[in-house]
Chains A and B, each alone.
Chain A
Amino acid sequence: MDLSTNYLGMTLHNPLVISSSSISKNIDNIRQVEDLGASAVVLFSLFEEDILVSSQELDYHLNRGTNSFAEALNYFPDHHSFNTGPEEYLEHLKNAKAAVDIPIIASLNGSTDGGWIDYAKKLEEAGANALELNIYYIPSDPNLSGAEVEQTYINILKSVKSALNIPVAVKLSPFFSNLANMAKQFEEAGADGLVLFNRFYRPDIDLENLEVSSSVLFSTPQAMRIPLCWIGLLYGRISVDLAATSGILSTDDVLKMLMVGANVTMLCSTLYRHGLNHVQVIEQELKQWMEEHEYESVKQMQGSMSQVKCDSPSAFERAHYIQSISSIPTIGA
């Protein structure tokens, strides 16, 4: 049985990829998921803020109070160089590469068209097989048009692509006026793949302290419906690779995503819930299901249930919405 799939120009031995998360902060975890069957690992993100804020904070604290008081012209010894950039991340990336044979995809996370993008080149030099560019932007300025936001995304991608030789996948949010058009724009701007979708960690409220809190919620089963829908819609319409992420918790979820057209499925929350061993469980269940259902390869099923290939294309669009709504029984009826 052939579980292999292609993603960003790479042949992966199965479609189970470890999503960008703190799992990859530990090299032992990366080794373990390789042994357990994962076909690639997307490293945790190098954040724009890590690069910018750490530089600015360092400068602020090293400068604060200097040359103000005759007895203490500064407060810290002179360290000639600091790793305010991605040095630590690059070191980790190199170590990860050395530790495993499966591809390591670096992840760069930011939202502005600024200098942080330059670090993409360093990720390539450090041996990343590909880059996942996570554009995590929450526009809140009422004067900013959707078109401007879209242009920022495209500019960031173009800047990165122009500097790199390795493939680049864009991880994006579903919140665009016309995601299909956006996907096309990404394709035209050179994206090798799209990762659908980013999960925004929406704030919560701490009622006791009247504070906005930011605890991370793991994906719920419902979360997979959005990427499922959009992968199904985009498959066959654009030629970039599609990675499914968010809410892929079970083998069934993996199968569904592959069927709507995902090249790979990315696992995260489920591993936090069930442990890293769950990769192995899913791989075995995947094989079992395919055997039972007489599938020969993953490629065979990829896209088979996409909008362009399924028997009810309207189910992906408004018509199905009307049908769904009307199928809900009335309360009290």
Chain B
Amino acid sequence: MSKPVFKTMDGNEAAAYVAYRLNEVIAIYPITPSSTMGEFADAWAAQGMPNIWGTIPSVVEMQSEGGAAGAVHGSLQAGSLTTTFTASQGLLLMIPNMYKIAGELTSAVFHIAARTLATQGLSIFGDHSDVMSARSTGFGMLSSCSVQESMDIAAIAHAATLKSRIPFLHFFDGFRTSHEVNKIEVVGEDVLRDLIDEKLVMEHRLRAMSPDRPILRGTAQNPDVHFQAKETVNSFYDACPDIVAETMEHFAKLTGRTYNLFDYCGAPDAERVVVLMGSGCEAVQETIAFLQNKGEKVGLIKVRLYRPFDSKRFIESLPETTKSIAVLDRTKEPGATGEPLYVDCLTGLHEAMNNGWGSLKSLPKVVGGRYGLSSKDFTPAMVKGVLDNLTQEKPKNHFTIGIVDDVTHTSLDYDPKFSTETDDVTRAIFYGLGADGTVGANKNTIKIIGENTEQHAQGYFVYDSKKSGAMTISHVRFGPTPIHSTYLVQEANFVACHQPVFLERYNVLEHIVPGGTFLLNTPENKDEIWNKLPRPIQHEIHEKNLKFYVIDAVDVAKNSGMGRRINTIMQVCFFAISGVLPKDQAIGEINKSIEKTYGAKGKAVVEQNLKAVEATLAHLHEVDVAAVSSSLEFLPPVPENAPAFVKDVLGEIIAGRGDSLPVSALPNDGTFPTATARWEKRNIALEIPVWDEKICIQCGKCSLVCPHASIRTNAYEEKHLDGAPAAFKSAAARDRLWKGWNFTVQVAPEDCTGCGICVDICPVKNKTETRLKAINMTPQPALREQESESWDFFTKIPTPDRRTLNRGRISQQQVQESLFEFSGACEGCGETPYVKLLSQLFGDRAMIANATGCSSIYGGNLPTTPWTVNEDGRGPTWSNSLFEDNAEFGLGFRLSIDKQKEFAGELVRKLAGQVGDNLVAELLEADQTDETGIYDQRQRVAALKEKLASVDSPEAKNLLDVADSLVKKSVWILGGDGWAYDIGFGGLDHTLASGRDINILVMDTEVYSNTGGQTSKATPPGAVAKFAAGGKTSPKKDLGMIAMSYGNVYVGSVAMGAKDEHTLRTFLEAESYPGPSIILAYSHCIAHGIDMSRGMQNQKAAVLSGHWLLYRYNPRLKDEGKNPLSFDSPAQKMRLEEYIYAENRYKMLTKSQPKVAAELLKFSEKQIKERRELFEFLASRDYSGE
């Protein structure tokens, strides 16, 4: 046995470590939370790291998980050791192939970061609903409980599959294990070599297809033999548990770490036993040990091999004293007799008892319950609740634990104060912002302690659902023994708040223990801070007798050249006052780690960080705690005047108290109200734009490009200024349409993210001070109150009648109310301006199908949604089905409303007698191509309804139901390039071919943005992305050209930052086209590595350099004898390299592989030239004779 090597890593890295070394082909597709396994594999392959046979695995990204599974199946059939990584819906897409792979007795392991399946809502978090859906595929199923086990059991699975020929799902809990960082003992390559039997590898290869020894596999079979053929595999499944057990023994001999198919822990004479799988086992084990010490007869069975389920070993693992068992499932199977593990245990017990296996005298009481769905924290207090239930004469069955079910009363009561935390463990909670580097610093601290001292370390990180101004909470533990506490820190010795603004709303000290240490980053000095604290914070500090330290980390960061990144500074403070390591040793280790972490990026960054470390301690001060004197209370999560549901439910989620909401508070079918983001006043902007009404030309561009709809324009009659707040600004409207009216540009100060993109786009310069524009960024705090008042007033001013506006002119169009506002997208997002534009133009009659991705997250992630309503209560109605099916989902909308319209038409005709012939004719022949037409039709439908109200017939009632379908609806299918170019392409293609009136908006960021920058077929050559770490070498797919090939599809390619009027025109044309339309919208993105406040300039450069072409293909023009293709791009005015090297996605390749970058640049230049020539040729064709 070689010398143990300890490292800190997360569960994904641990599993990928083994999978990479034991496979030759890895086919993957990104999906949270498993993406990083594939990313690690890709990065290792790019670095040339070999597997244990000395060859570099081939890592291939596919177009979907279905594609990955197909590639895995094929690769296995051709003899390579092959693996994949996935989760959730991804696993569902693999299921068809899994039946095949298992049916063909093929050795393979799939590694799964188990994640919730989308039902009434999507969740990226962890439970077993995905893996449980795959339990009938024939795959063996091995479960890991911890980061260490993710590595160990992965190795066992790979060895066992070769021996048993049963393929395995190796799964561990998404996020809780996949993303927990822990110190583990690394399985050496020598161990892996010893574990894997080379003879079995050879046999695997020999079973493969080869024309040198041809075989036929995958036959079609008839009723005569299919049944019997299926039964041929039984002996393999019968042998599998023994094989896994033997492999575990072998592993134990090699590593000293022992595993069993069912691992029992606890009192040998336990009476109450809990059975479960996954990370929850660790919390249960900790609780059992705690209670056992107190003399309680309790125990735990960790189920490791779930399939094939070995009933004999299961019953044999139970103490003979067992009286009652609680089987816990981290999944829900509505309508079943119980959740899967419960049912399997129950069946197994009965069968085992009948066979006389085990030592139980009689069948114990067995109950089942659900816990921890969607990563709901599972604590020792909840475990105690479960065990307490077993003490009942008649324990509650089919229970839930960890929630309050006040509807069907399934939930068990428990005492949340029960704790098993021990004194020898340092427990810390850090509150930070995504942008300040808090999580990175904590990961680094864990590495320092975990890899340079004898101590053990664990970190788990909680993120909120916003992409801008996101709060992060780090839960970190350090201790002398391995840390198994798989739950959030309940009792912290140390709390650090890295952003003082959190104290306005959150009790960050809720979990700190008496005598603990509180560190606050604040611009206030140590003598003044006490009086600035809210009362509840003062109270916590005073009552709990906390040691209280402050530092102005922002100032130290600024003086060290580190901008807003206070990570290193706060890390030094933590070490200085937590005492977790001797101070000097800690600082030495931090400095070493800085060299290691930043060295690759150059000396300057290293020096900045070292400078910050040096400067920190002089700025760290202890505060003298005084009496509680403050009268400041926490700000409410939403304003007092918010609607009840917003206040009572969404507000609680915003306040971080969502865990306490009972079942009754939530909708039972996933239906939530829109118009809720407006209540979530996030106040994340440091600076906001301020309007200079004197020089503004009222072009509306600021409002057009605003990604968050937080700067808006309106034109109105002067009378509406009555009662305006003193600070409210107004100017004479310049547009002749609004002669004599007033005009205002107003910012929503509490909703603005401060991205600055509006200022960048503003075309006006102040003639006396040219650095100023017609809007200028100004610090927010001093303006918050005054501008909030102005915003409130502004929102009450009516917008001009939509029928009067020239929608093709931005300055007029922009006064249309935005029905998409204040999303949680990244500051300066390049997608949301398009979404907002569509909401303004068509939102009051839009039905939106949204592919999973960035747009579904900023559009529909709780607590609030940016989709909103106009004053008539109309607005976009929105739904997200899946990632892969969005085009079909949206097409379904169209099929449905067209059917309803057709039915309504039939009924109107039938009821002509009551409705009146004129109205019938008008209703059925209405021209609804513009706002006036829509308005008039709504009036007609209202008149129709009025008439129908007095008609008592089934037809009239039916018509009342479907009458609204007579008003034109606008179906929009939204998504990113990952959806449109890759996973959803088949459906998108079919939808385009349908001829139906649908509108597809592809927000092309040229990369999978939501899952962290993986390459898609939209990624251009030369760009670096995950799975194209060395720069993408193949061309970008020309989706527009594919769509144009149908001839009857409207195709538009736009870039708002390059030509905004063109974008607007394209949207209007696409929507008015009565067939399928697709708009490809170039969207700059944080994943491009750009200055997001200047994203529109990047768009412009993309067009000027010829990378992105502007064009419109309008099939209607053919009827007029015109060429349908208008090539709207300007001549190339910028060299491609000027554009691309302004973006880090390209530039970083010049820094890491300059020769490759130069070659790819040449390739791209040639390619864009050829593409432009092709478009120019197509646009010049003469259609007059056709």
Most chain A CB within a 10 A radius of its CB, from B600, B608, B767? B600
A112–chain B nearest beta-carbon distance, Å: 11
Chain B residues within an 8 Å CB radius of A115 = 603-604, 607
Chain B residues within an 8 Å CB radius of A88 = 1154
From known contacts A66-B440, A69-B467, A80-B47, infer whether A51 and B1144 are also in contact, taking CB-CB under 8 Å. no
Let me know if B1012 and A81 touch, CB within 8 A. Answer: no
The range of chain A's interface size is 35 or more
From known contacts A76-B1148, A81-B600, infer whether A64 and B1012 are also in contact, taking CB-CB under 8 Å. no
Measured between alpha carbons, how far is A61 from B434 in the docked complex, in Å? 14
From known contacts A70-B463, A77-B1029, A115-B607, infer whether A59 and B1011 are also in contact, taking CB-CB under 8 Å. no
Let me know if B602 and A82 touch, CB within 8 A. Answer: yes
Chain B residues within an 8 Å CB radius of A80 = 47, 600
Measured between alpha carbons, how far is A114 from B67 in the docked complex, in Å? 53
Let me know if B1009 and A69 touch, CB within 8 A. Answer: no
CB-CB contacts below 8 Å: B10-57 with A: 32-33, 35-36, 39, 42-43, 46-47
Let me know if A73 and B598 touch, CB within 8 A. Answer: no
From known contacts A67-B437, A76-B1148, A77-B1029, infer whether A82 and B600 are also in contact, taking CB-CB under 8 Å. yes
A169–chain B nearest beta-carbon distance, Å: 25
A56 in contact (CB, < 8 A):
yes
A121–chain B nearest beta-carbon distance, Å: 13
Most chain B CB within a 10 A radius of its CB, from A52, A56, A72, A83? A72
Let me know if A67 and B440 touch, CB within 8 A. Answer: yes
Most chain A CB within a 10 A radius of its CB, from B47, B433, B435? B435
Chain B residues within an 8 Å CB radius of A139 = none
From known contacts A76-B1026, A82-B1151, infer whether A56 and B604 are also in contact, taking CB-CB under 8 Å. yes
B720 in contact (CB, < 8 A):
no
Chain A residues within an 8 Å CB radius of B179 = 70
B38–chain A nearest beta-carbon distance, Å: 11
Let me know if B439 and A77 touch, CB within 8 A. Answer: no
Let me know if B124 and A58 touch, CB within 8 A. Answer: no
Measured between alpha carbons, how far is A82 from B767 in the docked complex, in Å? 44
**Closest residue of B by beta carbon distance from A67:** B439
Let me know if A72 and B605 touch, CB within 8 A. Answer: no
B765 in contact (CB, < 8 A):
yes
Contact of A73 among B36, B42, B1029 (CB under 8 A): B36
Tell me the total A-B contact number using a CB cutoff of 8 A.
161
Measured between alpha carbons, how far is A64 from B1029 in the docked complex, in Å? 18
Most chain A CB within a 10 A radius of its CB, from B42, B598, B602, B826? B602
B1024 in contact (CB, < 8 A):
yes
B426 in contact (CB, < 8 A):
no
Most chain A CB within a 10 A radius of its CB, from B433, B770, B1148? B1148
Let me know if B1148 and A59 touch, CB within 8 A. Answer: no
Measured between alpha carbons, how far is A85 from B767 in the docked complex, in Å? 41
Contact of B1089 among A69, A71, A76, A78 (CB under 8 A): A76
Let me know if A68 and B470 touch, CB within 8 A. Answer: yes
Chain B residues within an 8 Å CB radius of A55 = 601-605
From known contacts A55-B605, A73-B1012, infer whether A78 and B43 are also in contact, taking CB-CB under 8 Å. yes
Let me know if B602 and A72 touch, CB within 8 A. Answer: no
Contact of B1086 among A54, A65, A73, A210 (CB under 8 A): A65
B794 in contact (CB, < 8 A):
no
Measured between alpha carbons, how far is A204 from B770 in the docked complex, in Å? 14
A 80-123 binary contact with B (CB < 8 Å = 1; else 0): 11111100100000000000000000000000000100100000
Let me know if A210 and B604 touch, CB within 8 A. Answer: no
Measured between alpha carbons, how far is A71 from B434 in the docked complex, in Å? 13
Chain B residues within an 8 Å CB radius of A85 = 602-603
Chain A residues within an 8 Å CB radius of B601 = 55, 58-59, 62, 82, 84
Chain B residues within an 8 Å CB radius of A214 = none
Let me know if B1013 and A72 touch, CB within 8 A. Answer: yes
Let me know if B604 and A67 touch, CB within 8 A. Answer: no
Chain A residues within an 8 Å CB radius of B440 = 63, 66-67
A75–chain B nearest beta-carbon distance, Å: 4
A79 in contact (CB, < 8 A):
yes
Let me know if B607 and A77 touch, CB within 8 A. Answer: no
Let me know if B434 and A65 touch, CB within 8 A. Answer: yes
Let me know if B1148 and A82 touch, CB within 8 A. Answer: yes
A125 in contact (CB, < 8 A):
no
Let me know if A79 and B1148 touch, CB within 8 A. Answer: yes
A57 in contact (CB, < 8 A):
yes
B378 in contact (CB, < 8 A):
no
A 34-68 binary contact with B (CB < 8 Å = 1; else 0): 00000000000000000111111111111111111
From known contacts A77-B43, A77-B46, infer whether A67 and B472 are also in contact, taking CB-CB under 8 Å. yes
B 1138-1151 binary contact with A (CB < 8 Å = 1; else 0): 00000011011001
Chain B residues within an 8 Å CB radius of A74 = 1012-1013
Let me know if B1144 and A77 touch, CB within 8 A. Answer: no
B851 in contact (CB, < 8 A):
no
**Closest residue of A by beta carbon distance from B1090:** A61
Chain A residues within an 8 Å CB radius of B472 = 67-68
Chain B residues within an 8 Å CB radius of A84 = 601-604, 1151
Let me know if B765 and A210 touch, CB within 8 A. Answer: yes
CB-CB contacts below 8 Å: B300-329 with A: none
B1141–chain A nearest beta-carbon distance, Å: 11
From known contacts A62-B1144, A79-B1152, A84-B1151, infer whether A71 and B1010 are also in contact, taking CB-CB under 8 Å. yes
Chain B residues within an 8 Å CB radius of A82 = 600-602, 1148, 1151-1152
**Closest residue of A by beta carbon distance from B439:** A67
B161–chain A nearest beta-carbon distance, Å: 29
Let me know if A83 and B1151 touch, CB within 8 A. Answer: yes
B 871-891 binary contact with A (CB < 8 Å = 1; else 0): 000000000000000000000
Chain B residues within an 8 Å CB radius of A61 = 1089-1090, 1144, 1148
Contact of B602 among A51, A73, A75, A76 (CB under 8 A): A51
Contact of A75 among B43, B434, B1013 (CB under 8 A): B1013
CB-CB contacts below 8 Å: A264-305 with B: none
Measured between alpha carbons, how far is A56 from B765 in the docked complex, in Å? 30
Let me know if B604 and A64 touch, CB within 8 A. Answer: no
From known contacts A76-B1024, A115-B607, A210-B765, infer whether A58 and B1009 are also in contact, taking CB-CB under 8 Å. no
Question: Can you name 13 A-B pairs with beta carbons within 8 Å?
Answer: A53-B604, A54-B602, A63-B437, A65-B1086, A68-B434, A68-B435, A73-B1012, A77-B43, A79-B600, A79-B1029, A79-B1152, A82-B600, A82-B1152
The residues of B with any CB-CB pair to A shorter than 8 Å are 32-33, 35-36, 39, 42-43, 46-47, 124, 175, 179, 433-435, 437-440, 443, 461, 463, 466-467, 470, 472, 561, 563, 565, 598, 600-605, 607-608, 765, 767, 770, 826, 857, 1009-1013, 1024-1029, 1086-1087, 1089-1090, 1144-1145, 1147-1148, 1151-1152, 1154
Known: A56-B608, A88-B1154. 14 other contacts (CB 8 A): A56-B605, A62-B1089, A67-B438, A71-B124, A76-B1024, A76-B1025, A76-B1089, A81-B600, A82-B602, A82-B1152, A84-B601, A84-B604, A84-B1151, A210-B767
7 cross-chain pairs, A with B, having the tightest CB-CB distances, nearest first: A68-B434, A55-B602, A84-B602, A72-B1012, A67-B439, A61-B1089, A61-B1144
